[in-house]
Amino acid sequence: MRQQVSGSLMHKVERMMDDDRTPAIATSSCVPSAAEISAVAAVLRSGLLRQGPSVERLEREFCARFGARHAVACASGTAALHLAYQSLLCAGDEVLVPALTFVATASMAIAAQAVPVACDVDADTWLIDLRDAERRITPRTRAIAPVHLFGNCCDRAAIERFARRHGLAVVWDAAQAHGARWRGQDVAAWSPLVCFSFYATKNLFTGEGGMVCTDDAALAAALRSRRSHGQDADGRWQELGFNYRLGDVPAALGLAQLSRFDAMAERRQRNADRLRRGLAGIPGIRCQTITIGCEPAWHRFCVTVDEDALGVDRDGLAAHLAARNIATSVHYPRGIHQEPFFVRRFGCTSLPVSERIGARILALPVHHDLGDEDIDRIISEVRRCHRSECGRR
């Protein structure tokens, strides 16, 4: 009988068993370097803990590294999405979002008094399916929020043609796509709004934090006001805003980490390439297809598991790896349209591709602190699981 996804696997829970015999392989690594610790300590000693010079410098250097014209730091990737939606949408406006994404892509549209409309995803790239999205357009549709899922870029040209044809604004959710490029251009340089997260598991991590990038100076000024209660440069409150400021402590961590970002990204790419080669040909294991022209960020390396071909389902493979001290995680076990809150609010919707992927998807470790021997061990254990004893219940 197929195992059911338990409550402990609902979103982002690592499965790992304690075993002193083999080193543990975690799904992510967020250990700061000595330089990063020193940078944070310097801010702590200064007493300037709130938003200040470190935040301003992080914004400048983020632009310089990733090609954005303006960058506005904020408290989280969720806050970044809320600020972006608030800048473009009015109450009752509809925004098209992929069903296979983190909940904030949709929930922050609701926070901005808009209505998220879940769309199915492409069966290969797992990114928003524009054919399905087109069927869901109504006279109230005002925007589309494509997600660069796991660091795989959306096809910018296709999205922008779609948006122009239907008169839609675009909010790019790049929470998992730091450094990803499409046709040679970093996603941070896209317009009008690009949202990043600096959560602890992200490719650039500060524990919590986020960034909104834009090519519009007036829009950047409005975002800066709204992240600080809607206050203008003279200290007057001009509009509704929030306390979405980023402090100088996490900003100092991010600043110092930028100096090793390229090395971390190169390691992720090497690990992903090795995983793709090593997993190729294993029956029942299918990797995400990378968009043509994309240089992915490899935030996560996810596969889908076909039980009939592999001889074990997704949870069985995860259990086999956990027993050998290799952690995995499920991103995402359900489409957002299947989450209880969205069902209660918007009713039931059938999005079969997203549902099928959610039932089969598994994230394997790919992070920057893994070496070739770690990747080879993961590949070896997945191969061992094919038609082996781990598939018998």
- Determine the Cα–Cα distance for residues 57 and 252; give it in Å rounded to an integer: 9
- Determine the Cα–Cα distance for residues 229 and 335; give it in Å rounded to an integer: 33
Q: Sort residue 167 into left (φ over 0), alpha (ψ -120 to 50) or beta.
A: left
CA 124 to chain CA mean position, Å: 18
- Determine the Cα–Cα distance for residues 258 and 187; give it in Å rounded to an integer: 17
Name the strands in the sheet holding 294-295, side by side, starting at the edge strand that comes first in the sequence: 185-186, 181-182, 294-295
Residue 12 known to be catalytic:
no
Q: Among the options 65, 202, 267, 367, which is catalytic?
A: 202
CA 285 to chain CA mean position, Å: 22
Strands 301-305 vs 294-295: parallel, antiparallel or unpaired: unpaired
Closest CA to 363 of 278, 303, 314: 303
At which residue do the structure tokens 């598994």 appear? Answer: 362
User: What residues are annotated to the active site?
Assistant: 202
